[in-house]
Structure 1
């Protein structure tokens, strides 16, 4: 049977002290809910692979064998690397708080996977997604969400957490959000996004949401969930015939790529995205190079290879 991570992370058994470590991450490290959810799945995989053995007695040889099983089961190097990060973190916590002597994950690496560049919309595709005028209250809301995604490069969790009267500063033209590890950042908001937000502010009053602080709400007046936002974006892209599956992070990628193409300022893009390391932002330089290469191939008179001389 192919090895894979446990899909039912909420019900899966965790290693001893796993719940305590996750609680410590949530309170002491202020880990994001999505990070905790991913780590829970990774810990459940470790417990399953241990096959009843206490994880405190596992050795580096055992962990290498687990890596091999996950890789043979089709798990990507990136996913295995995330597993190792979670396992390593648990063992470090056990060493610090439970007196464990050694970390069997230290020094181990995941198999390398081919580098995958993030998919982005072209400027024309972004325009095709955002230009059509809304014709219902829910479409007014959707346009405001998607304009803000693309205008400011927000993460899905950051947008979903926005409340009325908090974060958005029309006078300064900025939105302030709390990102990973509780870090706050302020990002400019474009005029088209402001126009869409003003229209949504007026339309929102038509919904039964007087007691709901969330900026973006459902038809019934409750905060939009991350999955609902994803679904609405995919539906809009499909209904407009874009021909690609569009998800919120694609709009964030598109924001970064288009900004870098125009400005060439990698540090500024890093700050706007809220990346702690410039290495996370450097992927967009590869996208930018691909864009420039396509422009060169299409426009330079010497770019196209000629046939053999007769």
Structure 2
């Protein structure tokens, strides 16, 4: 059976036998066309392809600018094809089985500049419902001022108790939260956040919290969800005039980046964020360097090349 017939038979198998979606079959078709072209250029048939061929083609795709994720998807298609060839008795081994795509660089976390973060934290809407305004202002102050995860925020109760996942100690100025891996940590709460919390707690009692222990509740008296906070924060950031919608984790990134810029204390930032591994925290050193590099490029006379 020639290469074209093998490919056609396999595509029929995934379309009819595995009942894959038309879009998936189309992608498989394109991947196998590329495989056939590579094999033809190498002077071999599809059943004669070796591991070295596949590695060479991966290197060519990578040097040609294809992303690691894109290469991984192509390899997945090829791997499935050769697994089927093996089951049908056309090849003795799968030449793609131990070939991996190049690792894609991890994107830097998105953080606000100091001015934008302060603009959002200071924003207030005079015509808004005072109850909602006080609640949302306290949420922003805790996310940016303490670097909390949104899951930690929604788990906070208004008072400490044996069943509370987390709570705020106003007198001590601390937030006690339950983080990832059920690990507890205490985070200092700044003056602005304490003021916002006190304003919210004064109004919270007048709203429909229905005996809920939750620190942040909605209009129906139930604990706010992470999704609700995402939506409220997105709307608030746009009303505050920020160029991009803000989500809760962006404020956590902003907290970490700004504390690191000021203190240069990576270990302290690790403790504040509740990272088990300092390698997770080190991404903010890259973010800080990127900020410094942009400032250099914009301001230093030696940074500009002559045109």
Q: Fold match, TM over 0.5? A: yes
- Rate the CA distance shift 1:220–1:262 in 2: closer, same or farther, 3 A: same
TM-score between the two structures when normalised by the length of structure 2: 0.64
Q: Deviations over 1:131-162 (max 9, x none)?
A: 12244211110010111000000001000000
Q: CA deviation at 1:300?
A: 2.5
- Structure 2, unaligned runs of 5 or more: 1-20, 25-66, 74-97, 161-166
Q: Report whether the alignment pairs 1:200 with 2:194.
A: no
TM-score between the two structures when normalised by the length of structure 1: 0.63
- Rate the CA distance shift 1:222–1:76 in 2: closer, same or farther, 3 A: farther
Q: CA deviation at 1:220?
A: 1.7
- Rate the CA distance shift 1:214–1:111 in 2: closer, same or farther, 3 A: farther
Matched-pair contact (CA < 8 Å) for 1:134–1:143: no
- Rate the CA distance shift 1:206–1:226 in 2: closer, same or farther, 3 A: same
Segments ≥4 residues shifted beyond 4 Å: 74-77, 107-111
Question: How far, CA to CA, are the matches of 2:116 and 2:293 in structure 1?
Answer: 19
Root-mean-square deviation (CA, aligned residues, Å) is 2.4
Q: Report whether the alignment pairs 1:120 with 2:120.
A: no
Q: CA deviation at 1:289?
A: 0.3
Matched-pair contact (CA < 8 Å) for 2:68–2:102: no
Matched-pair contact (CA < 8 Å) for 1:207–1:220: no
Q: Report whether the alignment pairs 1:148 with 2:142.
A: yes
Question: How far, CA to CA, are the matches of 1:269 and 1:222 in structure 2?
Answer: 33
Q: In structure 2, what is the equivalent of residue 220 of structure 1?
A: 220
Q: CA deviation at 1:298?
A: 2.6
Aligned partner of 1:132 among 105, 108, 123: 123
Q: In structure 2, what is the equivalent of residue 157 of structure 1?
A: 151
Question: How far, CA to CA, are the matches of 2:210 and 2:158 in structure 1?
Answer: 11
Question: How far, CA to CA, are the matches of 1:249 and 1:109 in structure 2?
Answer: 31
SS at match of 1:302: helix
- Structure 1, unaligned runs of 5 or more: 4-73, 81-106
Length, aligned pairs only: 210
Q: CA deviation at 1:291?
A: 0.9
